Amino acid sequence: MTSLSALPRLPDAGLFGSFGPTTLERLAFQRRLAQAREPLVRGRILHLPVYFPCTPEAVHEVLVGKARSFEKSPGLRVLLNDLAGQGLFTAEGALWRSQRKMMAPLFQPAPIHQYADTMRLVAEHAASRMHEGQAIDLAHETTRIAMSVVGKSLFDVDTFDEADALGEALTTCLAWVNDNLTSLGLVAHVLALDATASLASATAGRPRRALQSLHARFASPFLLPTSRDPKLRAAVRVLEERIQGMIDERRRHGFTRNDLLTRLLTAKDPDGSGESMSDAQVRHEAVTLFVAGHETTATALAWSFYLLSRNPELMARAVDEALAFGEGPITAWQPERLAFCTRVFKEALRLYPPLMMMPRRTLEAVEIAGVSLPPRALVFVSIYAMHYRESLYPEPERFDPDRWLPEREAERPKAAYLPFSAGPRFCIGAHFAMLEGPLVLATLLRRWHFEVDPGREIVVDNFATLRPRGGVPAVVRRRASGPSEGPPRAGG
């Protein structure tokens, strides 16, 4: 067995440790990580050692084989506490297990297919609002679309975008989470959370109770000065009141709607007491699904458009596929008809995985890649680094949707592709996103050509997800002959 001290060490990059605070520094660091030959390497964040599994086998051990020995690291849990409490994304242990069991049936392919029409209608509506010569930002458009799709699927409301009070409140909260995600204040908060837990377990009686209550206080981000900002507090209140209002309405009028909120309210614990969720838990899950479900998909869609705009031949193939639907609805009922757009979306998710890193912490001593890690060790899985490993993806920088032809995909180990993670904490909305992405792409491409300035290289932004900096500005051009003007033909 290799000892901890014998692990290869990554060079330091200043106060923050192995990787700096900005997205660009973190990306550069992860590209170096993609070159690592060893299955496990050691780095540092502030004064704490961090371990990075690098090969698909080592990552598989962390996320799948030995997943029970890990928890998510608590930073995001603290940040989302006032917003999404213990929703599925942040919950741990018994609560997470029972919530996942209750919610998994809602996200199976068959129930999710019922939202395909919503996806199509929202995309068609967005396309119908565009006009020849209009200057748009594709990142903004895809955010509006994804927000409306998840808003309509969750709450069955028709107008839902950032102009809506609920959408605005969510956007405010999300921006706050993003601003604090890499703050030193959050690191201090997490250290205080841990310190109070260890001190409490080492004491007894009154001091213990005092430390336990202090520990509970640290579950909420009260130390971060901006957490008391009146605009943020007002947004949190709007979320609570509006969602509670919708819950009350459903309770009053029976559960007749076909939205996810109704399904959350009527879901029962399958093998426990048959109990349903409390209203507070339903509110937290609704916010969790909203937050997890729109920014990620919107970002991947924006990159898909950008990558296609750089590759006219691939664009023509995607357009051909969209035009082959004629004037009929672009549906998801025959996935083979959207096979190329699906490969485009998958490849965009490889090159720009919306969540690039998954921080974990060991709950007990555990052996990874033949190395025994101590309890409470930080282990970061870099999705981005995995997606740029040359041994898995030759010419990793190249946008090549055909990497996802079934026979080529079958050659790679499963943990080589991680946009939705792997194992028990695999993204519950992956099927939803994989339905929405290609469908929206084809629906917009069928009608419009988006002229993106070929001289402008778009880089990633410093945000929680890998957003395109400055968006993806484009000019809308009518296809030489689109559905509204006669028989469709490939263009673009």
Q: Least distance from C-beta 59 to ligand HEM, angstroms?
A: 12
Please report whether residue 308 would count as binding ligand HEM according to CB under 6 A.
no
**CA angle 189-360-71, nearest 5°?**
90
The tokens for 209 are 């109770």
What count of Cα atoms within 13 Å lies in the side-chain half-sphere of residue 468?
A: 26
Question: How far is CA 148 from each of CA 218, 331, 444, rounded to the nearest angstrom?
Answer: 34, 18, 15
Q: Which is nearer to ligand HEM, 17 or 419 (CB)?
A: 419
3-state secondary structure of 362: strand
Phi-psi region for residue 167, left (φ > 0), alpha (ψ -120 to 50) or beta?
alpha
Q: Which is nearer to ligand HEM, 292 or 476 (CB)?
A: 292
Q: Which residues contact 111 (CB under 8 A, 6 or more apart)?
A: 105, 263
Binds ligand HEM (CB under 6 A): choice among 43, 74, 419, 471: 419
Give the separation between CA 186 and CA 209, rounded to whole angstroms.
24
Q: Which residues contact 97 (CB under 8 A, 6 or more apart)?
A: none
Please report whether residue 341 would count as binding ligand HEM according to CB under 6 A.
no
Give the separation between CA 245 and CA 238, rounded to whole angstroms.
10
Q: Least distance from C-beta 429 to ligand HEM, angstroms?
A: 2
Question: 11-70: which residues touch ligand HEM (CB under 6 A)?
Answer: none
The tokens for 7 are 């692990």
Residues 115 and 155: beta-carbon distance below 8 Å: no
Q: Which of 140, 181, 177 is nearest to 26 (CA)?
A: 181
Binds ligand HEM (CB under 6 A): choice among 51, 176, 420, 463: 420
Residues 166 and 174: beta-carbon distance below 8 Å: no
| Interface region with ligand HEM, contact rule CB under 6 A, candidates 77-85, 126-134, 286-294, 468-476 | 286-294
E strands, 411-464, in order: 448-451
Please report whether residue 355 would count as binding ligand HEM according to CB under 6 A.
yes
Please report whether residue 427 would count as binding ligand HEM according to CB under 6 A.
yes
Give the separation between CA 473 and CA 476, rounded to whole angstroms.
10
Please report whether residue 74 would count as binding ligand HEM according to CB under 6 A.
no
Binds ligand HEM (CB under 6 A): choice among 227, 288, 342, 382: 288
Binds ligand HEM (CB under 6 A): choice among 77, 215, 403, 425: 425
Binds ligand HEM (CB under 6 A): choice among 155, 393, 432, 448: 432
Binds ligand HEM (CB under 6 A): choice among 126, 433, 435, 445: 433
| Interface region with ligand HEM, contact rule CB under 6 A, candidates 114-122, 236-244, 351-359, 366-374 | 351-359
Q: Least distance from C-beta 416 to ligand HEM, angstroms?
A: 15
Binds ligand HEM (CB under 6 A): choice among 18, 23, 382, 421: 421
The tokens for 406 are 């079934």
The tokens for 318 are 């995607």
Please report whether residue 358 would count as binding ligand HEM according to CB under 6 A.
yes
Q: Least distance from C-beta 113 to ligand HEM, angstroms?
A: 14
Please report whether residue 142 would count as binding ligand HEM according to CB under 6 A.
no
Q: Which is nearer to ligand HEM, 44 or 387 (CB)?
A: 387
Please report whether residue 88 would count as binding ligand HEM according to CB under 6 A.
yes
Question: How far is CA 347 from each of CA 36, 128, 155, 233, rounded to the nearest angstrom?
Answer: 22, 28, 31, 39
Size of the site for ligand HEM (CB under 6 A): 24
Q: Least distance from C-beta 370 to ligand HEM, angstroms?
A: 24
Which chain residues interact with ligand HEM by CB under 6 A?
72, 88-89, 100, 150, 288-289, 292-293, 296-297, 300, 354-355, 358, 419-421, 425, 427-429, 432-433
